[in-house]
């Protein structure tokens, strides 16, 4: 579909039957580990990804740009007991979750932990762990005497399980695998779990590790534009209802409105993403004209950047030469291609932009995600209003 066709389709989507407006959720805690550093503030720095320090990762990497998270501060966050057997994906997520819970102001009470779930987006879990385990089935003596201690971290839901164990969280535990859309799909899953009363709050996010195996896959596929770094990172958020946050005295960082995901139809990836944006706005009760910021995902994968921008402009009724252009945020330009973690890092980058000292006055944003398989997602977020100072 051409941009013009996508724009022509947008008014028809706007006339679709009204859907139920979702109740907002709020983010009350946030933890980020990325190539830019720890926390939100480094995400606002200009420039490309910093040079990767691969000493802590190891492996024979291909001749491509790499963006690795700096010192994970694992011992500082988790202590030294029980961490030697953990894969890098899980370590990234555990440190991010530790930081997110640490921003709440007070630890969760035991009764709160019983009603707190974990929803983590991932591509395949730890690529290195699953690759090493599979390799042992080929190179070890028959009957394939693989080392049993390699198996747990090769399972896709190992990371989410460890988050629950380390933090004594006993609610819903889920791993969502949807490629580049995994982070937003995790938000949607958590929203449904909270709305249905399965949990009161959840740790929600995504993680992706940098390893030689995935870097070689990117290199041989040729999917990345020249100069695009293969990255990694994790972002984890505490998500709950406004009432729950108020009762606990926790201050919202942002409101989460509707989150929609979709698969490609006959119209292709542009139509899939434009449809997600349109549905998410309608379910949020937000006009396309209200959107002033877009946190984009597909910067480095060939062909996706133009498709994503065309779809967003069409859904927001803002072709390039008509009307004000939203402020574009492109985390991948700073962090590299972090694949399944990209959506969660896009949410973090938006929070960082809203918290920056020179932040503009925008209040409504969409976070979009698009995969080369045509899967798409859109999350609508709203900046929380400052408390009233009236007498």
Residue-wise over 4-28: b if at least 16 C-beta within 10 A, else e? eebbebbeebeeeeeeeebebbbbb
The predicted pLDDT at position 321 comes to 53
Among 221, 248, 275, the domain boundary falls at 248
**Residue 5 reports pLDDT greater than 50:** no
353 and 276 in a single domain? The answer is yes
- CA pair distance 140, 329, nearest whole angstrom: 48
What are the DSSP calls for 33-101, one per residue? EETTEESSGGGG--SSPPPP--TTT-S---SS-B-------HHHHH-STT-TT--HHHHHHHHHHHHHH
Domain boundaries, position 376: 3-22+254-382
- CA pair distance 344, 336, nearest whole angstrom: 14
Among 248, 277, 309, the domain boundary falls at 248
CATH (domain of 282):
3.40.47.10
359 and 279 in a single domain? The answer is yes
Say whether pTM exceeds 0.85.
yes
The predicted pLDDT at position 391 comes to 43
Q: How many independent structural domains does the chain possess?
A: 2
**Residue 323 reports pLDDT greater than 90:** no
**What interhelical angle do 127-139 and 88-102 show, nearest 10?**
160
List pLDDT tens digits, range 72-99.
Answer: 889 888 998 888 889 999 999 999 999 9
Q: How confident is the model at residue 386 (pLDDT cuts 50, 70, 90)?
A: low
Classify residue 79 by burial, with Cβ atoms within 10 Å: 0-12, 13-18, 19+.
Answer: exposed
The predicted pLDDT at position 322 comes to 53
List pLDDT tens digits, range 112-147.
Answer: 999 999 999 998 888 888 888 888 888 877 766 787
37 and 186 in a single domain? The answer is yes
- CA pair distance 198, 192, nearest whole angstrom: 9
For residue 53 the two structure tokens come to 């320090």
**Mean pLDDT, residues 327-331:** 92
What are the DSSP calls for 216-264, one per residue? HHHHHHT-BPTTPPB--EEEEEEEE-HHHHHHHTPPPSEEEEEEEEE--
Share of the chain above pLDDT 90, in %: 66
92 and 190 in a single domain? The answer is yes
Which stretch of 6-20, 85-99, 331-345, 361-375 has the lowest confidence by average pLDDT?
6-20
Tell me the average pLDDT of the chain: 88
């Amino acid at each position: 579909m051409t941009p013009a066709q996508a724009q022509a389709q947008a008014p028809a989507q706007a006339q679709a039957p009204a859907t139920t407006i979702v109740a907002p959720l709020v983010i009350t805690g946030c933890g980020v580990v990325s190539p830019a550093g720890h926390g939100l503030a480094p995400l606002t720095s200009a420039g490309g990804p910093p040079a990767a320090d691969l000493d802590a990762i190891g492996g024979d990497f291909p001749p491509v740009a790499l963006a690795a998270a700096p010192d994970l501060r694992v011992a500082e966050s988790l202590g030294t007991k029980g961490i030697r057997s953990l894969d890098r994906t899980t370590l990234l997520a555990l440190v991010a979750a530790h930081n997110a819970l640490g921003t709440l102001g007070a630890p969760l009470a035991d009764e709160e932990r019983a009603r707190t779930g974990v929803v983590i987006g991932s591509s395949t879990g730890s690529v290195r762990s699953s690759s090493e385990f599979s390799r042992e089935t080929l190179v070890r003596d028959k009957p394939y005497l693989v080392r049993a201690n390699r198996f747990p971290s090769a399972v896709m839901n190992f990371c989410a399980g460890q988050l629950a164990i380390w933090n004594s969280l006993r609610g819903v535990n889920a791993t969502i695998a949807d490629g580049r859309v995994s982070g937003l799909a995790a938000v949607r899953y958590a929203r449904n779990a909270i709305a249905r009363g399965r949990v009161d709050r959840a740790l929600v996010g995504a993680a992706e590790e940098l390893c030689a195996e995935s870097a070689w896959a990117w290199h041989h596929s040729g999917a990345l534009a020249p100069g695009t770094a293969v990255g990694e990172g994790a972002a984890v958020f505490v998500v709950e209802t406004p009432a729950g946050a108020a009762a606990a005295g926790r201050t919202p960082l942002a409101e989460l409105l509707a989150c929609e995901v979709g698969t490609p139809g006959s119209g292709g990836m542009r139509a899939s993403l434009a449809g997600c944006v349109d549905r998410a706005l309608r379910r949020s009760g937000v006009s396309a004209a209200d959107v002033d910021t877009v946190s984009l995902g597909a910067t480095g994968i060939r062909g996706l950047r133009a498709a994503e921008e065309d779809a967003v402009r069409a859904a927001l009724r803002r072709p390039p030469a008509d009307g004000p252009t939203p402020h574009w945020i492109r985390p991948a330009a700073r962090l590299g291609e972090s694949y399944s973690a990209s959506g969660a890092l896009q949410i973090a980058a938006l929070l960082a932009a809203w918290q920056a000292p020179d932040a503009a006055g925008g209040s409504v944003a969409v976070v979009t995600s698009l995969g080369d398989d045509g899967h798409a997602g859109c999350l609508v977020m709203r900046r929380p209003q400052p408390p009233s100072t009236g007498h």
